[in-house]
């Protein structure tokens, strides 16, 4: 078995070198540590990653010179030690001892004195250091990369501070109730009987929000397909798409299959034909796993293909298309804190080009009079309202429809959701209808 702190250091070191993400790295390491340490490993890597910019600003202040790139493992080791001193209820002397020993296990015994000195200085001066750096360093105070702070200040001058604060608060665990099998109230009662406190959602009529996250295997009925884990804002896609019986529907960029399964829960028993397309073959198994658990696989077709290309399409147009576009993920940082480390400002331009290419391609697959819903889990207008505005200006047959929902921030094109405490993630939706030859839309 691998030592849990060594495993955490190796994961963090890989992140610092942009070699993988938490979702790609963590599963393999969870198999390498003892069962009793899996929770601690997740806490260490998610916690240190969530606090990375604050911890790093602190480390740079305490070090005479930063670690070299080849010593990213030592950098990760120090951040891990600082995180434990600040956030965990582990005796401080034990944290310092374990972190020094960790440097030895990394075969860098030359750094043990340095690690020991830095952690002991922090131990002595924690309050003073916090006050000093909070005033002197935006990276320490806001705990986000500088480019992201600046962009949010520019994009959302009235909201940027709250966005940054919410990004560092753990998101709630939200369930989507399978309406084919039970009601939200029934699931809530089942949860309470199992000692799991839960509240009904306010944004989605099928949402149940847990007071504390639990293992999905402890959720009554999960293995029977009675519910799925899905953010409340993400659950709005089915409502906004407003599929009618007998229509032909496409879910583009479908993995991991949450929105696809939600569509099928509503329409599997009707004459509606639902297709899905996903580019990444490594993500395809997640779609099939969700379909099988919910007993919905027979009701749809799933294609491995590129939503910006035609080669998978049979040439028959769709009545409704859901475009869950690839994006920065900036609206779900609180669930995926490594986004703060891995995303760069220049990524947004590349993503915007891809988003436009997907829209351009799928628009050709939409019937005149049909509806397309564009969705991202981003809070950057460059990926959201500006994409939709540009698309509408370039396509005279594209008619933007305001969304009939009371939540979120209504924009000239689409509705923007920001992450909310004990509620939904950051999300964006826009709805377009395709004008027919007479310039008439469905709405």
Looking only at the bridges linking them, the beta strands covering 366-376 and 427-434 are antiparallel
Helix ranges restricted to H, 137-256: 138-142, 146-155, 160-167, 184-193, 236-241
Could you list the active site residues?
A: 377
Contact yes or no for 358/192 (Cβ under 8 A): no
Gap between the Cα atoms of 50 and 151, Å rounded: 19
- The three-state secondary structure class of 239 is helix
Residue 79, burial from CB neighbour count under 10 angstroms (0-12, 13-18, 19+): buried
CA distances from 129 to 66, 220, 233 (A): 18, 47, 39
How are the residues of the chain apportioned to helix, strand and coil, as percentages rounded to the nearest 5? 50, 15, 35
Which of 209, 240, 185 shows the shortest CA–CA distance to 375?
A: 240
Cα-flanking dihedrals φ and ψ of residue 333, to 5°?
-60, -35
């Amino acid at each position: 078995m691998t030592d849990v702190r060594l495993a955490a250091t190796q994961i963090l070191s890989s992140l610092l070198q942009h070699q993988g993400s938490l979702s790609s790295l963590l599963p393999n390491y969870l198999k390498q540590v003892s069962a009793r340490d899996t929770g601690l490993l997740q806490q260490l890597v998610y916690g240190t990653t969530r606090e990375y910019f604050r911890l790093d600003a602190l480390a740079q202040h305490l070090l005479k010179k930063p670690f070299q790139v080849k010593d990213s493992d030592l950098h990760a080791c120090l951040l891990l030690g600082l995180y434990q001193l600040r956030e965990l209820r582990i005796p401080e002397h034990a944290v310092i001892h374990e972190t020094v020993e960790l440097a030895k296990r990394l075969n860098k015994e030359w750094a043990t004195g340095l690690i020991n000195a830095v952690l002991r200085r922090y131990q002595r001066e924690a309050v003073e250091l916090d006050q000093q750096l909070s005033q002197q360093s935006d990276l320490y105070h806001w705990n986000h990369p500088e480019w992201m702070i600046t962009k949010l200040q520019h994009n959302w001058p009235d909201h940027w501070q709250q966005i940054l604060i919410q990004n560092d608060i753990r998101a709630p665990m939200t369930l989507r109730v399978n309406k084919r099998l039970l009601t939200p109230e029934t699931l809530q009662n089942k949860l309470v009987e199992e000692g799991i406190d839960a509240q009904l959602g306010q944004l989605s009529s099928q949402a149940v929000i847990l007071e504390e996250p639990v293992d999905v295997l402890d959720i009554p009925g999960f293995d029977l397909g009675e519910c799925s884990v899905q953010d409340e804002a993400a659950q709005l896609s089915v409502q906004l798409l407003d599929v009618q019986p007998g229509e032909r529907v496409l879910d583009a960029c479908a993995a991991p299959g949450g929105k696809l399964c939600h569509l099928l829960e509503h329409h599997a028993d009707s004459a509606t034909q639902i297709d899905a397309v996903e580019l990444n073959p490594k993500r395809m198994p997640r779609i099939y796993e969700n379909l099988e658990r919910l007993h919905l696989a027979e009701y749809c077709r799933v294609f491995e293909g590129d939503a910006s290309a035609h080669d998978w399409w049979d040439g028959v147009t769709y009545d409704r298309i859901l475009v869950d576009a690839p994006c920065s993920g900036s609206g779900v940082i609180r669930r995926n804190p490594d986004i703060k480390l891995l995303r760069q400002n220049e990524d947004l331009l590349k993503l915007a080009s891809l988003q436009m290419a997907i829209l351009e391609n799928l628009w050709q697959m939409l019937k005149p009079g049909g509806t397309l819903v564009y969705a991202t889990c981003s809070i950057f207008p460059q990926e959201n309202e500006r994409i939709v505005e540009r698309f509408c200006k370039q396509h005279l047959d594209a008619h933007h429809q305001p969304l009939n929902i009371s939540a979120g921030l209504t924009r000239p094109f689409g509705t923007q959701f920001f992450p909310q405490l004990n509620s939904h993630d950051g999300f964006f939706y826009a709805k377009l209808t395709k004008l027919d030859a007479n310039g008439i839309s469905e709405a």
